[in-house]
Structure 1
Amino acid sequence: MENKTLQGFVLEVYAYLALVSNIIPYGIVQDRTLPLDPFITSLKGLKECETFGTFFGFCHSLFELIPSISVLAAKRLGEEELGMRSEETVSMYDGLLSRLEEWRSPPLDREMAEWKSAHIATGKLYRHALFAYLKAAMCGSVVDNPKVIYQIQQHIDEAWPLLSEVHDSPYGTIMLWPLLILGSCIVREDQRHSLRYKLQSTAQWRMSQVIQALRLLNLLWDSNNRHAFGPCNITAPKFASHPVHHFFDSSSLPDPQFYSHGVSVHPGSRLVFTSGQLGQRKDGSFPETYKDEVHLAFDNLIAVLKAGGADIRDVTKLTWYCVDWNFEEAHNLLEPLMEFLTDSYGLRSRPITTLVPVPKLAIPGARFEVEAVAATEGFTQSWSDGAGRIDHYVAPIKADVVDVVGGGFSGLQAAYDVQKAGFQCMLLEAKSRIGGRSHTIQLASGKGLVELGATWINKTTQPKAYALTQKFGLDCVPQYGIGDSIWQQTDGVIWRVARGEVPKPPNSGESDMHSLLEALEVEQSRVDIINTGSYPTPSDMSVEEWIQSKGFSKFTQDFMRHSVAALVGREAREVGLHYILDYIKSGGGISSLASEGEHGTSAIATGLARSMKLGSIMLNSPVTRIEQHGSSSTVYTSNGLTVQCSKVILAIPTNVYDNIHFMPPLTPAKRAIVGRTKPGIYAKCILTYRTPWWKQKDIDLVGSFFSVNGPINFSWETSDDEKSNYSLALFVHGDSAARWHKLSNLGREDAIENHLAELVGPKHADLARDVVEINYKEWTKEPWIGGAPTSIMGPGDLSKYGEALREPLGCLHFGGGETAREWKGYLEGALRAGSRAAEEVIESLKEMPSSKLKL
């Protein structure tokens, strides 16, 4: 019994330590003491132990939420880097929020009856801390949403009076975690002072961990960094849980006395470089003595450092230039130096130094010059009213006429057309590559390339795309078209469909697929792709509602749902009927969309880029702000690049407009588009094999697999026989993709291979699993894109806002595949939309006086 009691106590100690180590998002500090243990996410097993409650105060159901919120915080930071917010994370947040809102304080053990009020207060304190952690975590690295900040402050205000009830109780020993969480969100100085006092003065809390916690909170509170709020940033490097710089000496060298042998600077630091400073007065004169000149040089250096937002303690390197250096006069240098290196708190820095004797300096009469390098904490800099500083800003790049935002097919086509018309044009792309929703990679296992994005074109129905392949001398590979397809319906039944046949399940009787096609043709006749506002709004409903209203067979209903998700990446319940009809009609109808073409498209993007002026495409340049000033515009990027121009073409997905601040703001209709459109949930997976086993006579498959269940929803063969590249392109969309995204990397690969093996049957399953190489792209997670192949609209939205998609706004014009009249969501549509936007801009520029085109 004693062993069991001891075991229970030890397990609870371990669980407590593991739980409270989750102060920050799990995984952002690699050397954390305790890993994330699934054991701590459910503490019910500890209730059988006699010692249960020693640490948790019977609030175990609250403690269980700590690691889950820590994982959520890590997910949000990862998504923030990709410029997205996934439905999975939102669902996780909603679930945790509900559990917190529903939590109630559990009954109290008899032995703790005298501490009833403290028991209740402890539970409430932890609950408020968890609310603050959860809401701050959902914002990512920067909590700047006023509504969220206000909500967190309410939790702090409600928690604060509870501290006095817990302070002298046994529960006071487990208060460090909630106090650190709440403390990281405190903005009121009176509450900060109160927390400092409690942590500094309370005897039972005076441990090394408490001292460290107070130090971290002080660093957070003293920083003017925009990240300095919330648990996610408590131990971020920019707040010196890792020092900004570390000075060190080598024990094998003589003691350097007043300087250091070396310094390491954290990569998150902001560097300040100064030019050489002389001991010269503002009127150009020099002090009479050498010592006074050195003093003045260091004073001037301090002024420059402060103008740059740095201080003496930030200096990492000093370089001195001394005329006719004489070691016997060293005291005239060292005394002013020691004064310079000592800050107002009496702390002395030891930067690395180099003394360079010179015969003379550039300015006649100067005898001493000093320059410095300083490193500050991240974006941190000391405040200045600017009175002692004159700023020289880097001049913006002048694109002369046009700036195109977005380096996908639409943006490249627009920029190419503008330059071809004789106007200067610059293109800004947020990512490190061009091509947008196409991404070609070299196979690691052998010769050949595979395309993880847009792949197929049809020279008959997509003439613009095909013409570019001919213009740039690109080879297209004809689509393989011999053999049967494989179909799988919702009940798991699998059957073969001969080429050209209308699919229907075996033993299902007469198919009503023709009825579906006829109904679609009737509905399409009411759609005008040139005037989206003409569609009768009362007739618009979700595709799901339309399917159910027609009384189709279950297979035909599932087929239509599958087709919608395959076309746009969203389920029929989310997509408006008018939108999908317009989408189908813009591509020439069902038969045109279903027709096979040739594959090999990414080289089109490269061809367009090579045809443009060298240096006019800037990568890694996410646009954050577009300002219009009369007949000119200024475009700002997150990397500091600024471009002035007469016209801007925005050729990015509508779902990422939200990453840009527009001045003047977008019209209400355009803002509604951003808020209402949903990017497709899509992934493409390429399986590469040693041989095209599906072409064997005893198998005789065309490489097309269709499944309503997923994860493989449909596929095409994408082999290049000349390069011995034998591949299948497998697509995952809609709900199937959302489920697939949640799997681990290996889990996603297993799911695809296992499903393909199921579709081909047990006889040939080993061939399906004999994969040489697997590559996939989860377009939903792709930064600055967030989905594929397009962004959908719900019922009523297209007729109401469709024309606003492409309407210019002052100097701002809109491209991108979603704005296309024809072939929206396809490469052809993206190219046409780019040319249409370019044509608008070119015609407008021709009407402007030539003087207006010179910025």
Structure 2
Amino acid sequence: MSHHRPDVDVIVVGAGMAGLVCADRLRRRGVEVLLAEARDQVGGRTAGIEVDGETVDLGGQFIGPGQDRMYALAAELGVATFPTHTAGANVLETEAGRSRRFRGMVPKLGPLTLLDVARAQSRLDRLARTVDAEAPWRGPDAAALDGRTLQSWIDRTLKTRGGRRFLVLACRAIWACEPSELSLLHALFYVKAAGSLAAVTDVEGGAQQDRLDGGAYGLAARLAGRLGTAIRLNAPVQRIEQDDSGVVVTADDGTAWRAGHAVVAVPPPLAARITFRPPLPAARDNLLQRLPMGSVIKYVAGYPEPFWRQAGLSGTALSLRGPVAMTVDSSPRSGRRGVLIAFVTGTPARDLATRSPAERRATVLDALGRLFGPQAATPVSLVERNWNEETFARGAYAAVFPPGAWTQLGSALRAPVGRIHWAGAETSPRWYGYIDGAVRSGEAAADAVTRAIRTAPARGRPS
């Protein structure tokens, strides 16, 4: 490796939002960058397609108060935001299939259940305030919290069956997994990283408050436009080698690029599939092996108009019956067509994925019909994105920390390995798992690489 001049200063692996922001920030500082992306389009978990002339987000799409880096990026790129539609009543479907209308984010569950849920939410917020978002493994109670699952906490804390059932639904909606799969410490860290549980769950005033004109994928595409020929699509990275002189990044087709540094900006399960030479430190390697992604199937149902609004409904629904856990009105700002997005998460997503496409479609349309009436069961279009079957995602919304992972291996999450740095929504101590967290991680990685370049002795190509 030392006998060859670098092709570029930095190679970024993965053109999701973190990789795009990292590469753009470096380019604007005069650093020569190459961005290698496995897919045939940029965006990562902010994927999108065009339906009837409108960009439809198949991945992350919402932003809200406190997500300052996303708002700043949108303003910089000339992308306007607009509020998620919330006017009207929300719908709760009970386990028995009965529908109840409610306002706000907590449905009418009965006075005892409501009190039970409110106390649990307050206790989660209090516990979350004790967690160090920069280093969740620190703290006198970290080991105890990390040794428990969220399910064990629910079982010990909530007194009503309805309250426990609602918290399971909330876990699926927030983390796309079962509470038995999730470390209590990770749940608390996630809440701390967002500021509060309300910031995670709420639409108005919360992380789902606003949307982007042209969608989150449209914003990613604009950012990619600034990078131009620096991006290499259809280039899944197979191997990363490093020594004192730099790195060599090799794609599946054998193409190799040399650089002074590399930034790996892909989800943990994908990073685990890259061969590193020399091997990663044991802690980093073991951590990658322990972090599965959440399980999500997202459906986008299109209609001639948002008919539910005329019926006094907001488009937001929660279902204890399933398999759809939650729906949201995702109609374009123009209102010229109606769009409902529906999420199947956790175990129901894994179960639904075993059925044929026709069975999945029928099951989801039946759920939409129960929630919003017969008109909802006959959309003009229905797009499915099973994130767990995506070769270059293997799940969503983000990686899930099981018990023990934070306290035993968490310190390796963000630590660079020689000339290799890490980015992605999973590496951000603020807004972990969100688009804003991905942006922050890309900025942080670019800053770290810039410092490394400036402090290194002159070698290879000038920077």
TM-score by length of 2: 0.93
- Residue segments in structure 2 that go unaligned for 5+ positions in a row: none
Q: Does structure 2 conserve the Cα–Cα contact (< 8 Å) formed by 1:688 and 1:771?
A: yes
- Secondary structure at the residue paired with 1:565? helix
For 1:606, the equivalent position in structure 2 comes to 221
The one-letter code sitting in structure 2 at the alignment partner of 1:704 is: T
The one-letter code sitting in structure 2 at the alignment partner of 1:544 is: Q
Matches within 5 A, 1:628-643: 628-643=242-257
Does 1:651 pair with 2:258? no
Q: Output the CA distance in 1 between the equivalents of 2:158 and 2:339.
A: 39
The one-letter code sitting in structure 1 at the alignment partner of 2:358 is: L
Does 1:479 pair with 2:97? no
Matches within 5 A, 1:209-608: 398-443=6-51, 446-458=52-64, 460-498=65-103, 500=104, 502-505=106-109, 511-535=115-139, 536=141, 537-540=143-146, 541-593=148-200, 594=202, 595=206, 596-599=208-211, 600-608=215-223
Q: Does structure 2 conserve the Cα–Cα contact (< 8 Å) formed by 1:427 and 1:617?
A: yes
Q: Does structure 2 conserve the Cα–Cα contact (< 8 Å) formed by 1:512 and 1:553?
A: yes
Q: How far is 1:492 from its partner?
A: 3.2
Q: How far is 1:505 from its partner?
A: 2.3
Shifted more, 638-647 versus 844-853: the winner is 844-853
The 1:509/1:414 distance shift into structure 2, 3 A limit, reads closer
Work out which of the residue numbers 404, 416, 439 in structure 2 matches 1:796: 404
Q: How far is 1:440 from its partner?
A: 1.7
For 2:285, the equivalent position in structure 1 comes to 671
Q: Does structure 1 conserve the Cα–Cα contact (< 8 Å) formed by 2:113 and 2:160?
A: no
Q: Output the CA distance in 1 between the equivalents of 2:433 and 2:225.
A: 25
Q: Output the CA distance in 2 between the equivalents of 1:615 and 1:543.
A: 46
Identity %: 28
Q: Output the CA distance in 2 between the equivalents of 1:684 and 1:521.
A: 28
Q: Output the CA distance in 2 between the equivalents of 1:546 and 1:414.
A: 38
Q: How far is 1:396 from its partner?
A: 8.5
Q: Output the CA distance in 2 between the equivalents of 1:509 and 1:657.
A: 42
Q: Does structure 2 conserve the Cα–Cα contact (< 8 Å) formed by 1:516 and 1:552?
A: no
The one-letter code sitting in structure 1 at the alignment partner of 2:166 is: F
Work out which of the residue numbers 307, 312, 318 in structure 2 matches 1:700: 312
Q: Does structure 2 conserve the Cα–Cα contact (< 8 Å) formed by 1:405 and 1:650?
A: yes
The one-letter code sitting in structure 2 at the alignment partner of 1:555 is: G
Q: Which has the higher contact order (CA 8 A, sep 6+)?
A: 2
Q: How far is 1:827 from its partner?
A: 0.1
Work out which of the residue numbers 295, 298, 322 in structure 2 matches 1:710: 322
For 1:735, the equivalent position in structure 2 comes to 347
Q: How far is 1:598 from its partner?
A: 1.7
The 1:616/1:397 distance shift into structure 2, 3 A limit, reads farther
Q: How far is 1:721 from its partner?
A: 4.6
Q: Does structure 2 conserve the Cα–Cα contact (< 8 Å) formed by 1:684 and 1:732?
A: yes
Q: How far is 1:448 from its partner?
A: 1.8
May I ask how many residue pairs the two structures share in their alignment?
450
Does 1:772 pair with 2:387? no
Q: Does structure 2 conserve the Cα–Cα contact (< 8 Å) formed by 1:578 and 1:796?
A: no
Q: Does structure 2 conserve the Cα–Cα contact (< 8 Å) formed by 1:652 and 1:815?
A: yes
Q: How far is 1:562 from its partner?
A: 1.4
- Secondary structure at the residue paired with 1:604? helix
Q: Does structure 1 conserve the Cα–Cα contact (< 8 Å) formed by 2:112 and 2:160?
A: no
Q: How far is 1:489 from its partner?
A: 3.1
Q: How far is 1:781 from its partner?
A: 0.5
For 2:301, the equivalent position in structure 1 comes to 687
Q: How far is 1:666 from its partner?
A: 0.9
Find the structure with the greater CA-based Rg: 1
Q: Output the CA distance in 1 between the equivalents of 2:374 and 2:133.
A: 48
Q: Does structure 2 conserve the Cα–Cα contact (< 8 Å) formed by 1:400 and 1:854?
A: no
Does 1:827 pair with 2:435? yes
The CA deviation string for residues 120-158 of structure 1, in whole angstroms up to 9 with x for no partner, is xxxxxxxxxxxxxxxxxxxxxxxxxxxxxxxxxxxxxxx
Q: How far is 1:654 from its partner?
A: 0.4
Q: Output the CA distance in 1 between the equivalents of 2:4 and 2:254.
A: 9
The one-letter code sitting in structure 2 at the alignment partner of 1:429 is: E
The CA deviation string for residues 143-199 of structure 1, in whole angstroms up to 9 with x for no partner, is xxxxxxxxxxxxxxxxxxxxxxxxxxxxxxxxxxxxxxxxxxxxxxxxxxxxxxxxx
Q: Does structure 1 conserve the Cα–Cα contact (< 8 Å) formed by 2:169 and 2:320?
A: yes
Q: Output the CA distance in 1 between the equivalents of 2:105 and 2:79.
A: 33
Q: Does structure 2 conserve the Cα–Cα contact (< 8 Å) formed by 1:627 and 1:662?
A: yes
The CA deviation string for residues 564-583 of structure 1, in whole angstroms up to 9 with x for no partner, is 22112110000000001101
More strand by share: 2
- Secondary structure at the residue paired with 2:371? helix
The 1:552/1:674 distance shift into structure 2, 3 A limit, reads same
For 2:239, the equivalent position in structure 1 comes to 625
Q: Output the CA distance in 1 between the equivalents of 2:125 and 2:427.
A: 23
What CA RMSD, in Å, does the superposition of the two structures yield over aligned residues? 1.9
Does 1:749 pair with 2:361? yes
For 1:213, the equivalent position in structure 2 comes to none
Matches within 5 A, 1:144-155: none
Q: Does structure 2 conserve the Cα–Cα contact (< 8 Å) formed by 1:624 and 1:637?
A: yes
Q: Does structure 2 conserve the Cα–Cα contact (< 8 Å) formed by 1:634 and 1:645?
A: yes
- Secondary structure at the residue paired with 2:247? strand
TM-score by length of 1: 0.51
Q: How far is 1:824 from its partner?
A: 0.9
Q: How far is 1:611 from its partner?
A: 1.7
- Secondary structure at the residue paired with 1:611? helix
The CA deviation string for residues 300-332 of structure 1, in whole angstroms up to 9 with x for no partner, is xxxxxxxxxxxxxxxxxxxxxxxxxxxxxxxxx
The 1:415/1:399 distance shift into structure 2, 3 A limit, reads farther
Q: Output the CA distance in 2 between the equivalents of 1:510 and 1:476.
A: 34
The CA deviation string for residues 210-269 of structure 1, in whole angstroms up to 9 with x for no partner, is xxxxxxxxxxxxxxxxxxxxxxxxxxxxxxxxxxxxxxxxxxxxxxxxxxxxxxxxxxxx
Q: Does structure 2 conserve the Cα–Cα contact (< 8 Å) formed by 1:709 and 1:736?
A: no
More helix by share: 1
Q: Does structure 2 conserve the Cα–Cα contact (< 8 Å) formed by 1:548 and 1:557?
A: yes
Q: Output the CA distance in 1 between the equivalents of 2:301 and 2:263.
A: 37
- Secondary structure at the residue paired with 1:722? coil
- Residue segments in structure 1 that go unaligned for 5+ positions in a row: 1-394
Q: How far is 1:615 from its partner?
A: 1.5
Q: Output the CA distance in 2 between the equivalents of 1:511 and 1:731.
A: 27
Q: How far is 1:723 from its partner?
A: 6.2
The one-letter code sitting in structure 2 at the alignment partner of 1:511 is: L
